[in-house]
Amino acid sequence: DTGVSQDPRHKITKRGQNVTFRCDPISEHNRLYWYRQTLGQGPEFLTYFQNEAQLEKSRLLSDRFSAERPKGSFSTLEIQRTEQGDSAMYLCASSLEVTGNTGELFFGEGSRLTVL
């Protein structure tokens, strides 16, 4: 399967613990996005990378959140000192950005975080 993969699919943690999610995009895609989605809502943009450069971060991304894409391939999203309000589905998506392309995003299945 050459789609976007995310790991883990589910994570239950206690408040105050750190968690890390990994995303492996489609191999030739140069853009990688992170979104957060709570129940009954649409995905909220968190951040995106163009190759290894993090080009934009949402104000939703507090200083407890950090994302990296060290070699322009896979990405990690770390949440430090988790809070119950961090409970959500974290979605990763990738796309191939070239002049005149459609901007279609390919999503992974998400990583569901539950903070107790």
Partner 1 sequence: SQQGEEDPQALSIQEGENATMNCSYKTSINNLQWYRQNSGRGLVHLILIRSNEREKHSGRLRVTLDTSKKSSSLLITASRAADTASYFCASFSGGYNKLIFGAGTRLAVHP
The site for partner 1 (CB under 8 A) is made up of: 4, 33, 35, 40-45, 48, 55-56, 91, 93, 97, 101-110, 112
Cβ of residue 3: shortest distance to partner 1, in angstroms? Answer: 9
Per-residue DSSP letter, 52: T
Residue with Cβ nearer partner 1 (17 or 56) = 56
DSSP per-residue letters across 19-45: EEEEEE--TT--EEEEEEE-TTS--EE
CB of 29 to partner 1, least distance (A): 13
Q: Do 80 and 67 meet the contact criterion of CB atoms below 8 Å apart?
A: no
In terms of CB distance, is 15 or 30 closer to partner 1?
A: 30
- Rounded to the nearest 5°, which phi and psi values hold at 68? -140, 155
